[in-house]
Structure 1
Amino acid sequence: MMKSLQLHSTHNTIFALRVSSLFFLFSSLTSHGHPIKAHIFIYAGCSQEKYQPGSTFEGNLNSFLSSVVSSSSQVSYNGFAVGNGSSTPQEGTIYGLFQCRGDLRTIDCSKCIESAVNQISLVCPYSYGASLQLEGCYVRYEHMDFLGKIDTSLRYKKCSKSVSNDVEFFRRRDDVLADMESATGFRVGSSGLVGGFAQCLGDLSPTDCTSCLADAVGKLKSLCGSAAAADVFLAQCYAQYWASGYYDLSSDSSSEDQAGKTVAIIVGVLAGLAVMIVLLSFCRKAMG
């Protein structure tokens, strides 16, 4: 179901945070009562080009974000085209999408998307293009039509500490990764004590999905080597694996981690200052 949107060509700067970051931590529950940290911030990308407050683009962006939240209560993926009709100025058009992890219940998907929508404007204020990945969901919008166009650029990686020469582990890991590589949507796999996830965005064809995941699996092996657990997020798909008992949240991740931490701290400080200013303003009015 396509709704109306568009964007300009934007250059994204990727800010990555470790999965263990304390930036916007929430949790949701599965139907079995076990916690899923679906709302944990993973990475964000923001265009360098900015729109003006009160512009047509801002109005269409608000419409897009509202539609994303509303749609997530019914489906786990949707693409949008907002303001791309002949009566709308080209600078106001937006293309965007959202997607939840395939194993999330509808209610948890909706909560995750709502959290992502609340965060994306804080992390990427006045940006003509932005993407935000949480543990359980993803939101992206641009000023040009990117939907369905293959993009396997690396957005985020996280590699745990290496394991010793454990032949059985690597055999199990390779079995899981081979299974992930052949997915055409969302897949959960396991072999012994090794498990994994893989998923493509819903705008990819089955062939392009398989191609994207093959690239993601290749990067898992080349970038993370003998890591006991690893995550690789490309622009349109991701693959993850882990060994029971090995997942180390303090492990190495992409080189953008420090930049991401800085962004998180700045956003937090600015938000706190904004709250203080508002409170002081109310206090002055009350006293005056």
Structure 2
Amino acid sequence: MLGSLQSHSTHKTIQALGLPTLFFIFLSLSYFGFLVKAHIFIYAVCSQEKYAPNSPFEGNLNSFLASIISSSSQVSYNTYAIGNGSSTTPEGTIYGLYQCRGDLQTADCSRCMESAVNQVGLVCPYSYGVSLQLEGCYLRYERANFLGTPDTSIRFKKCSKSVNNDVEFFRRRDDVLADLQAAIGFKVSSSGLVEGFAQCLGDLSPSDCSSCLGDAVGKLKSLCGSAAAANVFLGQCYARYWASGYYGEFSPDSSHEDDIGKTVAIIVGVLAGLAVLIVLLSFCRKAMGKALFLVHILLSLHSLSIKSDPFLSAE
């Protein structure tokens, strides 16, 4: 299935690694870590119902996921209805959409969606319905047609520690949230040291978008209170704010979705750690081989010197 994480292994022993090669590998691993951070896992919602391998639904799901990767290289939002014709069994029908954050370039959107597609099979294996939110993009599919249906149910929230008795901060925060509530599509706002952004799904009308963001802003205030930074994701929109320098320093909620995110991060970390360990072991093996070879030469030279010295040989 396209949604499963792909891993590549090699059975060849890494040999004769010089310092330039080793340095290049460490740079590559650092860049890999940067790409992982660029597509941070936010949350996933998975249906309890599961489909069978090689079923009509799996075939249509693979088509849907492949179409997302292709389409996201051109547009940041799209919807799909696959297998809903009279010639297809109802069990194979799939409705879906994807959307990238409004400030992402097309190439970044495509990379984010490819990352989302690769994570679907890991976080929600064989699920009939999935909502997957990464830092810069969103993916959803279901068997039932949800497209265009209002949905303001809360999917995820995250609140930082509180800011106490900071009147200026709360005034600035309220200014940002009021501005975000008036967004149509995607909007970035700032006031002093407080920043934020908000976004609605592409199929919402301006009035429905405003209504959804109104709910999101209300939940930010009621659920996160005086937090210095907060995120609230609803079914069709989200709103976020933070004090400058505070973004990314949240104390996450104890939720199942966060556990999934940690699992993904642990898997990535273990794979990267194994790669580093293989490189180091190979480098040490080479260094050890050179050292043993040098010791062997020195011992041989010492033996020759003993045999050639008459005073030493006589003892």
Which TM-score bucket, shorter chain as reference?
Answer: 0.7 to 0.9
Counterpart residue number, 2:225: 225
Q: 1:250 to 1:95 in 2, by over 3 A?
A: same
**Structure 1's 176 and 207: CA in aligned 2 closer, same or farther, altered over 3 A?**
same
Which residue in the other structure is 1:80 paired with?
80
Range 74-83 or range 203-212, more displaced: 203-212
Structure 1 residues 86-105: aligned runs within 5 Å: 86-105=86-105
Partner of 2:208: 208
Q: Matches of 2:133 and 2:261 in 1, distance apart?
A: 15
Match of 2:42 in 1: 42
How many matched pairs?
239
Q: What is the CA-CA distance between 1:254 and the residue it aligns to?
A: 5.6
2:168 is the alignment partner of 1:168: yes
Deviation of the 1:260 alpha carbon: 3.3
Letter of the structure 2 residue corresponding to residue 73 of structure 1: S
Matches within 5 A, 1:187-198: 187-198=187-198
For the 8 Å contact 1:230–1:242, the answer to whether it is kept is yes
Structure 1, unmatched stretches of 5+, are 1-24, 29-35, 273-288
Matched, 1:242 2:224: no
> 1:64, 1:252 → 2: CA distance?
32
Equivalent AA in structure 1 for residue 160 of structure 2: S
| 2:110 paired residue number | 110
The offset of 1:261, in angstroms, is: 5.5
Structure 1 96/222 Cα, relative in aligned 2: closer, same or farther at 3 Å?
Answer: same
Contact 1:156 1:254 in 2 (8 A): no
Could you say which residue in structure 2 is the equivalent of 1:286?
Answer: none
Pairwise CA distance, 1:189: 0.4
Q: CA deviation at 1:248?
A: 5.6
The CA distance in 2 between the partners of 1:161 and 1:112, in whole Å, is 29
Question: Alignment identity in percent?
Answer: 72
Deviations 1:98-136 (A, max 9, x none): 000000000000000000000011111111111110000
Alignment of 1:67 with 2:39, yes or no, is no
Alpha carbons of 1:200 and 1:106: their partners in 2 closer, same or farther (altered >3 Å)? same
AA of the residue aligned to 2:112: C
Q: Secondary structure at the match of 2:144?
A: coil
Counterparts in 2 of 1:160 and 1:148: CA distance versus 1, 3 Å = same
Preserved CA contact (<8 Å) 1:160 1:248: no
1 or 2, which has the higher helix percentage?
2
Contact 1:27 1:39 in 2 (8 A): no
Task: Give the direction of change, closer, same or farther, for the CA distance of 1:26–1:75 in structure 2 (3 Å limit).
Answer: farther
Residues of 1 paired with 2:173 and 2:160: CA distance? Answer: 14
- Please state how far the C-alpha of 1:252 moved relative to its aligned partner: 4.0
Give the secondary structure class of the aligned counterpart of 1:189. Answer: strand
**Alpha-carbon distance between aligned partners in 1 of 2:34 and 2:74, rounded to the nearest angstrom:** 21
| Greater RCO (Cα-Cα under 8 Å, separation 6 or more) | 1
What are the equivalent positions in structure 2 for 1:139-178 lying under 5 Å apart?
Answer: 139-178=139-178
1:213 alignment partner AA: L
Q: Residue type of the partner of 2:58?
A: E
| Separation in structure 2 between the aligned mates of residue 127 and residue 101 of structure 1, nearest angstrom | 25
Q: How far apart, in 1, do the equivalents of 2:109 and 2:259 lie?
A: 28
Looking at secondary structure, tell me which structure has more strand per residue: 1
Question: Deviations along 1:45-102, whole A, 9 cap, x unmatched?
Answer: 1110011101110000000000011000000000000111111111100000000000
The alignment partner of 1:249 has SS state of: coil
Structure 2 residue identity aligned to 1:177: L
SS in 2 for 1:217: helix
TM-score (normalizing by structure 2): 0.71
Name the CA distance, whole Å, in 1 between partners of 2:54 and 2:244. 51
1:284 corresponds to: none
Matched residues in 1 for 2:207 and 2:38: separation?
28
1:120 & 1:135 partners in 2: Cα distance?
15
Instruction: Please state how far the C-alpha of 1:26 moved relative to its aligned partner.
Output: 5.2
Unaligned runs of 5+ in 2: 1-31, 272-315
Q: Would the aligned equivalents of 2:42 and 2:258 in 1 still touch at CA under 8 Å? A: no
1:168-190 per-residue CA deviation (whole Å, 9 max, x = no partner) reads 11010000000111112100001
